[in-house]
DNA sequence: AAACTAGTGGGACACCTGTTCAACTAGTTG
DNA sequence: CAACTAGTTGAACAGGTGTCCCACTAGTTT
């Protein structure tokens, strides 16, 4: 009964924090990491610039928060994928098709992580997630499989026409031994 | 005998052009594509800013010229690799170890190519090169193999300790059927 | 009610940016 | 030799940047 009103200062603050992250992700999807500035994000989120610096004092804070958040979100979305060639191929096709922007953002994270150790755990979340789903494979086979998924995604991003699930399925099949 | 002196204007111009590309590549290796500006490149090459804009009127010209040139250079360097698991594994280990900076630059090109179609041919040169060396494989197997190489490289870039040739060899072996 | 404090937002600072320009030097050509 | 022109350079322009600061509003706590 001493429950505070549901949108007090703190609640609205948290919401704005998330809105800033979402706006940053949209900017990254549209213009890449290099398009992110306190001002471009503030414009995208329709808030004053100082609001962005209030919640994320430096650009780095904002970028790191956005990319780790995005990686967590993406990992959640992978939960629905079943360990069958068809399901995996469909996931890949969607990643380089409808979710292309998001996938691009994910690989910008990869590259940023190569230069900034603090981003590496977030970048590797994807790999550990894979191992939790396909962990029953032989170690070497799994490593090759996981690497191939990354390669198929990144190559799909620079193709003139994004590959379809039908085109990818035989490749995935070959990498996934039946047992 | 009307041979012009070996370092006339034009010759020195061409040399400076190449020096600018090399300086740009060093900047990319050190600070990433986002660290490239006419000024940072000019500083690195120890020439005035206007020299950079004289040869490459816009930053885009400079970036595109550098990345396509770098891709061609890297392709040449791949010529020595033999189509055996050991040789491939050694190449990978060097790419994520001693040549780490260069490999990073190559993947920045990939990501840039995802957003700029004019860079795609340069980015795909790597894949067509692979197919010229490993073209005897079955199509689906080759696609998986080529994708896995990209994945192994990019994952090697975000590892805390770059994988060694010994660690990668079994994985490569599995992806390369004996015939 | 009074005191406190999280959040707001406009404005400013110093700095770096891409690109242009006009004056100049020195190879090249007729 | 004179005419030409590729290359060189410092300076400048207009605009974007990260970050800080201060006056302020409105939930929250005592």
Scan residues 45-84 of chain A and list those with Cβ within 7 Å of strand D: 49-50, 52-53, 57-60
pLDDT single digits (tens) A119-148: 999 999 999 999 999 989 999 999 999 999
Contact at CB, B158 and A104, closer than 8 angstroms = no
Residue A1 pLDDT greater than 50, yes or no: no
In order of A27, B47, B55, the CA distances from B13 in angstroms are 40, 13, 9
Q: What pLDDT sits at residue A107?
A: 96
| Stated pTM of the model | 0.93
Nearest to A33 by CA among B41, B108, B153: B108
In order of B35, B103, B150, the CA distances from B29 in angstroms are 9, 8, 18
pLDDT single digits (tens) B52-61: 999 999 999 9
As ranges, strand C nucleotides with an atom below 7 A of a protein CB are 6-12, 16-22, 26-29
- The nearest CA of chain B is from the CA of A7 a distance in Å of 40
Helix (H) or strand (E) holding B32: none
Nearest to B33 by CA among B106, B87, B89: B106
Query: Beta carbon of A13 within 7 Å of strand D?
Result: no
Interface of B with A (CB under 8 A): 32-34, 104, 107-108, 110-111, 113-115, 117, 120, 123-124, 127, 140-141, 143-144, 146-152, 154-155, 157-158, 160, 170-175
What residues approach strand C to within 7 A at the CB? Answer: A 9-10, 12-14, 16, 47-51, 54; B 4-5, 8-11, 36-40, 49-50, 52-53, 57-60
Contact at CB, B150 and A154, closer than 8 angstroms = yes
d(CA A21, CA A34): 16
pLDDT single digits (tens) A75-116: 888 888 999 999 999 999 999 999 999 999 999 999 999 999
- The nearest CA of chain A is from the CA of B12 a distance in Å of 34
d(CA B168, CA B93): 8
CA A96 to chain centre: 12
- The nearest CA of chain B is from the CA of A178 a distance in Å of 15
Residue A2 pLDDT greater than 50, yes or no: no
d(CA A59, CA A36): 8
Range with lowest mean pLDDT among A48-52, B84-88, B132-136:
B132-136
Residue A25 pLDDT greater than 80, yes or no: yes
Per-residue exposure over B21-36, b if at least 16 CB sit within 10 Å of its own CB, e if not: bbbbbebbbeebbeeb
CB A63 within 8 A of CB A112: yes
Q: What pLDDT sits at residue A9?
A: 84
Q: What pLDDT sits at residue A7?
A: 65
The residues, ordered by sequence, that sit 6+ positions from B25 with a Cβ below 8 Å of its Cβ are B66, B69, B70, B102, B105
Helices (H), chain B: 9-31, 38-45, 49-55, 59-77, 85-96, 100-115, 120-134, 139-157, 165-175
Q: pLDDT exceeding 70 applies to what percent of chain B?
A: 96
Radius of gyration of chain A (CA): 19
Helices (H), A56-119: 59-77, 85-96, 100-115
């Amino acid at each position: 009964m001493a429950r505070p009103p549901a949108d007090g200062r703190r609640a609205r603050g948290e919401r704005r924090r998330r809105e800033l992250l979402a706006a940053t992700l949209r900017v990254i999807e549209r213009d890449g990491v290099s398009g992110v500035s306190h001002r471009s994000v503030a414009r995208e989120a329709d808030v004053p610039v100082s609001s962005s610096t209030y919640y994320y004092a430096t650009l780095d804070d904002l970028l790191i928060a956005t990319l780790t958040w995005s990686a967590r979100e993406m990992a959640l979305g992978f939960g629905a994928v079943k360990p069958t060639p068809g399901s995996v191929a469909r996931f890949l096709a969607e990643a380089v098709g409808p979710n292309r922007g998001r996938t691009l953002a994910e690989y910008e994270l990869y590259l940023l992580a190569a230069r900034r150790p603090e981003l590496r755990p977030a970048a590797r979340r994807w790999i550990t997630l894979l191992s939790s789903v396909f962990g029953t494979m032989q170690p070497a086979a799994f490593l090759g499989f996981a690497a191939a998924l990354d390669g198929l995604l990144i190559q799909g991003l620079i193709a003139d026409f994004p590959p379809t699930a039908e085109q990818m399925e035989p490749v995935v099949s070959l990498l996934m031994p039946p047992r």
